[in-house]
Chains A and B, each alone.
Chain A
Amino acid sequence: MHRLLRTAGALVCAALLAAPVMAQTLTGAIAGTVTDEQGAVLPGVTVTLTGKQGSTTQVTDANGSYRFVALEVGTYQVEADLSGFQKATRPDLQISPGRELTIDLQLKIGGLTETVTVSGESPVVDVKSSATETTISQSLLYSAPITRTAINVINYAPGVNDGSAYGGDSDSGNALLIDGVDTRDPSGGTAWTFYNYNIVEEYQFQGLGAPAEYGGFTGAVVNTITKSGGNRFSGLFDVFGTNKSLGSDNTPADIAAQNPSLADPAVTRRYADITTQIGGPIQQNKLFFFASAQRFLLVTDPTGPITTRHEVSPRLNFKLNWQPNPSNNFTGHVQFDAYNIIGRPGVSSLIATDDLTVNEDAPEYVWMLQWRHLFNASTFSEVKYTGWTGFYDLNPVVNQPGHFDGLTGLYSVSAGFFYYADRGRDQVNASVTHYADKFGRHELKFGAEIEHSTTRDRYGFPDGLYFYDYGGAPYYAYNYSYDISAVNTRQSVFAQDSWQMTDRLTANVGVRGDMLQGKGKDTDRVYSSSNWAPRLGLAWDLAGDNRTVLRGSYGWYYEGSQTALFTRALPGIADYITYAVNPDFSLGDIVDVAPSIPYKVADDIKHPRVDEATVAFERALSGTMRLTLTGIWRDNKNFVNSVNPSARWLPVTTTDENGNPITLYNWANRDESDTDYVIRNVNGFQYLDPDGNVIGTADPFRKYRAFMAVLRKAYTNRWQAQISYVFAKTNGNVDNSGGQQIATRQFETPNLALVNAEGNLTYTPRHEFKLLGSYQIPRVEASVNAVFRATSGLYYTHIEQFPNSLLNALTAYRRIRIEPLGARQLPSLYQFDVRFEKSFRFPGSNRLDIYADIENLVNRGGITDVITRSTSVALPDGTSFDLPFNTPGAIQAPRQVRIGARWSF
């Protein structure tokens, strides 16, 4: 016991001294026991593991056991050899990140040259993990007609829709890792860096019962591992494209009549995605390279008046793996992406013309350097330096002040703004993994992480002005801008143990600490929060046959560090100045100056998190099929928002546009209180009337409850599939669209915090059915691969903008729900995509694939969005039309055929 404690203590110290990590597991392990035909263990057996980067050997110990650790993702073969016995070989073992395969081998007495190849399937049920796996099979992903925007793959996982994972914030709640590099925007947490679908070796989704090494998310983790070179040369050359003639129109006549903008549907004019890749040895068994070049082009005629949108992403990837000796492995990976768009709408896409667009220039570099060291067969460490840097600039196509006409609702001249975002993240991760065999079997992992990320946001108007006209005549002009620089720093530590207490019971315990600080570039610290998160889990092999497991987990998951939490507390925001304007558009007197006063941040602020409990039952139905049933409970805590402690609110009762009475709140002392804002955990904040009486108390909450059933069938008998059904409900008063739990101003006014605030959150459909499957047709040897998704409609709410004369508040504060949140549902949505693929195999492992994807095979025109607030639209050609509440605002993309060819070896 003392030895174990000493070892653990030493490893903790080593991890902390080694400094920083982002330790998400990128490797797996293979372990097992070798026995003879009578079942007695065989010590001294030479066990050889062969992968694409070489071989390694071990000799079984006194218990007949062996273990290979720190294995890169890929396919391996294990061979056991002992004099006097036949060799036993297990080929085609697929290693996934974070998973240990148990491969027991039995040797038969026989000739020295005889080899027995065991063709048993890899275990289909992981009876040690308490995390509910939501991984999608790699072979399914590669054969499926999924979008080439790799980051969207998350939406094919059960329980994830429109980027909202298990009720979490859409997109911003998820951690997106490429080879361990956190590639999210350090400002708001959304995806920033994209990558070539073809460079992916493996995807892993984590999110339910994830161990302590995973942190910085309240939705899910997408762990993407990129390809590496090996001893064999490999290459891939892929051309994939479509054009206008291969597309359809699916706008139903009645929808086009309701919303004339949809009568001009989006048309894909040209799509071309070209990838060239090669990987192989520079020096056999020691130094490997992988290189990829890709150019992605998409030219569309979008819905609405814009005629052309031109999107390009040229990307280069290069990766080196160097293993100078058996104990050390170095990896370096760099990516450059020059993503850019011409024709991005600068105002609502329903009314934006080509002049009202902006150009987007958004290149970035991503890098990763990693050193993995094996101390012995039971202990290894990883040290990693990762990061990325880039910018995202939006420049108006017409570089002149924009105009908005208050009478006609017409936008004109230009998009009217520029926006420049600089981003960067540096991160150092270190971890130590140790396998111990005291009091059961342990897989201990300790790690530390240090992150330093920077953001700079600049916004302004061309020539410093934006004009508000009335009936074509000048009326007001505005001057406003900001330039805010922020810095996030984070120190995290974690310790976890997968403790196999008995042959059938495994406890997965861990704790994670995150220390977060935020500041301006030249300011003192404005945000600070230290948090400890427990992770507890149990996995019970019910029958002791590795086929049935009962899992349970409980854990706290803190959101990542995001500067959006505190940027409003930083300097850099200019006053909002309003000018009178003369008939010749020259500026007159200053009419109003709204001073910029930085917000304050509460000292005792707690970082947002979600508390999660899961219970799962998983059963192998055959050697290749398993069924998983999971119950999920998630409650979000520590919502951060801004409030105005000095504001006083006068209840007023009025009639909404449906003719129903509604009680709202007039900002009674706006002139005296509109500079007093505090960023804090808003639960318990009281809204007061002018007499100091409490009119309501903020009680933000979000509760996700779900039942998930997933049936997985690995490829045998010509078919494979993943079929899932999720029944879910997310109830609360903080919606789960992006950034809602940290960065909105919802709680600055009781009209948004209290009025019709509670109900169904937008991005959790009640019923969700997903099917990914593929079938290999006999004789012709072509495959049919399908993705079918059926979800009940997303929720939405009727909103009305009330007049300033009634509420005395900013426009954003006057757009108020006139029915409970999520009171309505869009129609159910059905999406059916198919890929047909024919493969030709040639000598030398050459393979040629010809494939065709048909997106929206049945060309459905299901409604994906509606107008939630009645409005009018004015176009430059003089036409205008009303868009009343409930008018369809968007429909599914029409049927589009894409054709591709791929040569690989």
Chain B
Amino acid sequence: MTRHITRSTTWALSACLAFATAVAPCAASERSTVKTAEPVAKSTPIREPALTELSPASRALLAHAANAPAPARTQPQTPDTSSASSFFTSKRGIVTLVLMGVGTGFTLWSIQHDREPVKSPVR
């Protein structure tokens, strides 16, 4: 595998990287109001509580609770700073996109412009 980075491949790859840098935010989604958060790790199987290991008070409480209807399990929610509307249609999202575009464009310009005087003739 050649290790030479030619000017054209450098430009092409950096453009791809910049493209990803700029486009990914646009492809980003908002929190779905329907979907529930999924666990990032596999859960262990749910086991029945071993009552013999509990203290008497807990045992009595659990024995009572076993006959009661199970409470609705609340799915943990990840905090989200965005409102229901899309982040990128919000004022902050638009400003963010503009700044990212400017920053990425400036960096790309620098890759080309600032390297111009130092580009090695053997590359």
Contacts and interface: CB of A to CB of B under 8 A. Distances in A.
Interface string B10-41: 10011001101110110111111001011111
B100 A293 contact: yes
What's the interface size class on A, roughly?
35 or more
- Most B-side CB within 10 Å, residue of A46, A85, A289: A289
Nearest to B66: A83
A46 B78 contact: no
A456 interface: yes
A456 B4 CA distance: 11
A275 interface: yes
A338 interface: yes
Interface stretch (A134-142, A262-270, A418-426, A561-569): A418-426
Interface string A45-88: 01011111111111101111000111000000001000111000
Contacts of B114: 312, 314, 338, 340
A696 interface: no
A79 B24 contact: no
Interface string B32-68: 1001011111111111111001110110011011001
Contacts of B96: 233, 235, 278
B81 interface: yes
B3 A84 contact: no
Contact of B61 (A84, A237, A293): A84
Given A58-B43, A456-B3, A338 B110 contact: yes
A578 interface: no
Contacts of A37: 55, 57
A844 B30 CA distance: 16
B21 A293 contact: yes
Given A83-B70, A312-B114, A54 B78 contact: yes
A855 interface: no
A293 B14 contact: no
A95 to B, nearest CB: 13
Interface in A310-352: 312, 314-318, 320, 323, 325-327, 329, 334, 336, 338, 340-342
B122 A420 contact: yes
Contacts of B106: 274, 293, 295
Contacts of B65: 83-84
Contacts of A38: 55, 57-58
Given A44-B49, A112-B71, A233 B44 contact: no
B30 to A, nearest CB: 8
A274 B78 CA distance: 31
A424 B4 CA distance: 10
Contact of B24 (A41, A282, A422): A282
Interface string B55-91: 1011001101100101101011111111000010000
B68 to A, nearest CB: 7
Nearest to B102: A276
Contact of B53 (A43, A237, A286): A43
Contacts of B43: 56-59, 326, 377
Nearest to A79: B76
A289 B17 CA distance: 13
Nearest to A66: B44
A93 B96 CA distance: 29
A62 B54 contact: no
A276 B99 contact: yes
A425 to B, nearest CB: 10
Which 10 A/B pairs are nearest by Cβ-Cβ distance?
A276-B103, A56-B39, A44-B49, A393-B120, A314-B110, A40-B55, A38-B55, A55-B76, A291-B21, A359-B118
Interface of B: 1, 3-5, 10, 13-14, 17-18, 20-22, 24-25, 27-32, 35, 37-50, 53-55, 57-58, 61-62, 64-65, 68, 70-71, 73, 75-82, 87, 92-93, 96, 99-100, 102-104, 106-108, 110-111, 114-115, 117-123
24 contacts: A36-B54, A41-B54, A48-B76, A54-B78, A55-B76, A84-B65, A109-B58, A230-B78, A231-B78, A233-B87, A233-B96, A278-B25, A283-B29, A284-B31, A291-B24, A291-B104, A293-B103, A295-B110, A318-B17, A326-B38, A363-B10, A374-B41, A377-B44, A420-B122
Interface of A: 36-44, 46, 48-59, 61-64, 68-70, 79, 83-85, 109, 112, 230-233, 235, 237, 274-276, 278, 280-286, 289, 291-295, 312, 314-318, 320, 323, 325-327, 329, 334, 336, 338, 340-342, 359-361, 363, 365, 374, 376-377, 389-391, 393, 395, 420, 422-424, 454, 456, 844-846, 905
